[in-house]
Structure 1
Amino acid sequence: MSENIFSGLEDLGFDDIDEIDLYHTKKEEAKNEEILHLTDEEKQKNLLYNREVTCPVCGNEFKTKAVKTSAARILRKDSDSFIIFDVINPYFYDVWICNKCGYAAMKRDFNKIRNSEIELVKEKIKPKWHPKAYPDVYDVNVAIERFKLSLLNYYVIDAKASKKAMNCLKIAWMYRLLEDSGNETLFLKQALEGFNSAYFNEGFPLYNMDKFTSMYIIGELNRRLGNNDESLKWFSQIITAQGAPSKLKDRSRDQRDLIKEAEDLEKSADKLNNDETPVKEESKPKKGFFSKFFG
């Protein structure tokens, strides 16, 4: 039997199509083989492109690195919404910086700046700014620097608490990648303070988070910082709320159970320690030097 899937079309004039790779399998295999031999940096570079941006502060036109839409591959997601990616990390490219005036912001905020805020950047950021050439591929340390410059700009223009809080949360995530728990905790605290303020003083959504998602994030940040009682209050409100999505209720129950399990373990450990009583050693008479001869 012929393996030519187009056999029978010869009389119609198609007699030269007996070696067609219908799904381009061989081409894909060759491409994948080529990718295997690339370094990590080369792989990441292939997933980036230059995006043209105009600075709303000084009018400078520049190019910034951006990750191709199809490039981000999710490995897992932490309980506070931090996504761990494979090959390339889109968080590294989340901040846009104008190298002429020093204005920086997370990309969704970059063009959302008022005239009064522009004047503040010109007055307090631009005079001190030292232009910097960044590499073609960013790493976590570059990302931290760029996020901190963004946070400084948010502080200078007195941006909404939700913006500053999200910026701090993303810095905390970057330190998590470095396994730097001290700095992660520092910025988680800053993020929690900002989200708390935003929840009671801003309208929803808070940085693209609806009311219940905001409540969950506040509860989870409290849990991660050891504020268990406060965390349980937020999770309980979600669980009992009529309008909260079922998936968010399930996540809140999971985190509530984690807190209770940790507290039960702590109580058990305390009880075990209290039940243990020190055993006194029986005092024995000391033997003199000659006892080994006359004992």
Structure 2
Amino acid sequence: MDALESILKKISFFQNLNCPLQDLVKKMHLERFEENTDIFSEGDQGSSLYLIISGRVLIYSKSSTGQEMAIQTLEPSDIFGEMSLLDGGYRSACARTLEKSIVFSLERKDFLEFLDNNPKAAVTIIETLSKRLRQSNIRNKILIETNRKLSTQNNDQKQSAGNTPGQATDEQQEQLAEEKKEYSIKADRAGMEEREESGFAGVLEQHLYEVEHSAEEDEKPRVKKDTDLREMLYNKKVVCPICNSKFESPKALSKYVQTTKMDYDFCQYYKNINPLFYEMIVCPICGFTFNEEILGMRLKKEQSEEIKSRLMTFWQENKLKDYSGVRTLEEAIETFLLAIYSLQGRPVKKSLMGMLFLKIAWLYRFKHEKVQERKYIEKALTSLSIAFESEDFSNVRSEINTAYLLGVLNMNSGNYREAAKWLDRVLRHPSKSMFPMVINQTRELWSDVRQKLREGKEQKKLNEDVSE
């Protein structure tokens, strides 16, 4: 039971309740399901929440044509069926195991008894459910639109079948399959981003809390330093793309931006003022955070409204700080974290996300926090790898720089074989002569990677000899 309590404390639905969870744990029941077993169906009376301990569960719905539409694939530590805890209403989707699964269930009556004994927890639960419901509404919009398309295509299929039997049916079936595949990808991605959003909001809140409660610095040298830095800034007039507020955001004057050195992954160090601290623009009204690339994204009206609503909820629990003056390293990190939080659930290019993660890693490097730096380098690696395979790099410089970065970041992470693959791709690129600086750095790194691989082979052979 102690292990189950530890799991609950790590889940966003329970972790902020600020009350003992032992009583709740005692009310949970262990259940085992074989592969491909229905846990509940759409329209069933809901009376319990489920927590996955092992296995995977598919949450899906059915279209009017009978097609199964995947909504979300859940894994260990994920919960589902939570809405029924409050209203005991009908299930809005189906749940089926994809493999042998072990879950804990919590009955509604037991949960309500827990809330009666811990009334303060009820407010937190309602707020958490509201956030999850908002994400669910987004997925439902996708589902409704896809269902409409499927119904239209099904009718077209029947009409076509009457005119050209056989051939028209095959074509329509292929279109239906493509629609289902496209929706499944969108829905899975939405589900993954929902879990990421929940976790990322926690990261952001924790960062804001730690900064607020850190030890007070000596203000005298800080005041003088701020005065010096303020002279190196100018105010840029901007308009928030979410709430249309007009305001000014600080930027570094180019005459004070002097680079002293640069790391292999393009992280630059500056003598006077670091322009990276002021790259992000933070709206003082709604808190939406963006740079020039994000500003260039085209957001639909409903996307803007969803972002505005989510930010409003976030700032009800957290104080929106003033980022209009001199920024500390901590505040610079906050602005990038806010930018990523602002974009959660939006169709953002992986190359853009990769660079945001990498810049956060640079900021933690300035702060000498190795663990956090490594964490965001791994995130950058994942995003940039997907970007290289899925995005169209019409700009040769971007293509070469991305491949080079993947080589450098893999090397920094100790993935020497992957690093060798990407660096080799740069050295073999037909347009490499146009970028001599990058090519020279790639050759230097290639030599280091080969040495590491050679040492690895020698160590492996030594280990084999010792074992014999």
- Tell me which interval the TM-score lies in, with the shorter structure as reference length: 0.7 to 0.9
Q: Does 1:50 align with 2:238?
A: no
Residue in structure 2 matching 1:87, options 268, 272, 287? 272
C-alpha offsets along residues 224-272 of structure 1, whole Å, 9 cap, x if unaligned?
A: 1111001101111111222223433222111111122344556677889
Match of 2:376 in 1: 187
- What SS does the aligned partner of 2:255 have? helix
CA contact (8 A) 1:168 1:190 kept: yes
CA contact (8 A) 2:354 2:382 kept: yes
What is the CA distance between 1:185 and its match in structure 2?
0.5
Match of 2:355 in 1: 166
Residue in structure 2 matching 1:106, options 260, 283, 291? 291
What is the CA distance between 1:175 and its match in structure 2?
0.4
Calculate the TM-score normalised by the size of structure 1: 0.73
Which segment is superposed worse, 157-166 or 213-222? Answer: 157-166
- Based on CA coordinates, which of the two structures has the bigger radius of gyration? 1
Residue in structure 2 matching 1:126, options 312, 318, 330? 312
Which segment is superposed worse, 167-176 or 49-58? Answer: 49-58
- Change in CA separation of 1:261 and 1:39 when aligned onto 2, cut-off 3 Å: farther
Match of 1:217 in 2: 405
The residue type paired with residue 420 of structure 2 is L
Across the two proteins, how many residue pairs are aligned to each other?
238
- Change in CA separation of 1:158 and 1:123 when aligned onto 2, cut-off 3 Å: farther
Q: Does 1:247 align with 2:433?
A: no
Q: Distance between the aligned counterparts of 1:272 and 1:157, measured in 2? A: 50
Percent identity over the alignment is: 25
CA contact (8 A) 1:104 1:110 kept: no
Q: Distance between the aligned counterparts of 2:385 and 2:305, measured in 1? A: 29
CA contact (8 A) 1:103 1:126 kept: no
What is the CA distance between 1:47 and its match in structure 2?
0.4
Q: Distance between the aligned counterparts of 1:191 and 1:94, measured in 2? A: 18
Residue in structure 2 matching 1:59, options 244, 251, 256? 244
The residue type paired with residue 258 of structure 1 is D
Which segment is superposed worse, 132-141 or 263-272? Answer: 263-272
Q: Distance between the aligned counterparts of 1:212 and 1:94, measured in 2? A: 24
Specify every segment of 5 or more residues in structure 2 that has no aligned partner in the other structure, as ranges: 1-222
Aligned-pair RMSD on alpha carbons? 2.6
C-alpha offsets along residues 60-83 of structure 1, whole Å, 9 cap, x if unaligned?
A: 111111111222000011100111
- What SS does the aligned partner of 2:228 have? helix
Residue in structure 2 matching 1:256, options 446, 449, 455? 446
What is the CA distance between 1:139 and its match in structure 2?
1.4
Residue in structure 2 matching 1:153, options 337, 342, 347? 342
C-alpha offsets along residues 4-32 of structure 1, whole Å, 9 cap, x if unaligned?
A: xxxxxxxxxxxxxxxxxxxxxxxxxxxxx
- What SS does the aligned partner of 2:235 have? strand
Match of 1:142 in 2: 331
CA contact (8 A) 1:124 1:156 kept: no
The residue type paired with residue 159 of structure 1 is V
Q: Distance between the aligned counterparts of 2:296 and 2:438, measured in 1? A: 32
Could you list the runs of 4 or more consecutive aligned residues of structure 1 that deviate by over 6 angstroms after TM superposition? 267-276
What is the CA distance between 1:203 and its match in structure 2?
1.8
CA contact (8 A) 1:43 1:87 kept: no
CA contact (8 A) 1:56 1:111 kept: no
- Change in CA separation of 1:68 and 1:165 when aligned onto 2, cut-off 3 Å: same
Of Structure 1 and Structure 2, the greater strand share is in 2
CA contact (8 A) 2:257 2:274 kept: yes
CA contact (8 A) 1:103 1:153 kept: yes
- Change in CA separation of 1:52 and 1:215 when aligned onto 2, cut-off 3 Å: same
Q: Does 1:226 align with 2:414?
A: yes
Which segment is superposed worse, 124-133 or 88-97? Answer: 124-133
- What SS does the aligned partner of 1:138 have? coil
Calculate the TM-score normalised by the size of structure 2: 0.47
Specify every segment of 5 or more residues in structure 1 that has no aligned partner in the other structure, as ranges: 1-37, 277-295
CA contact (8 A) 1:169 1:187 kept: yes
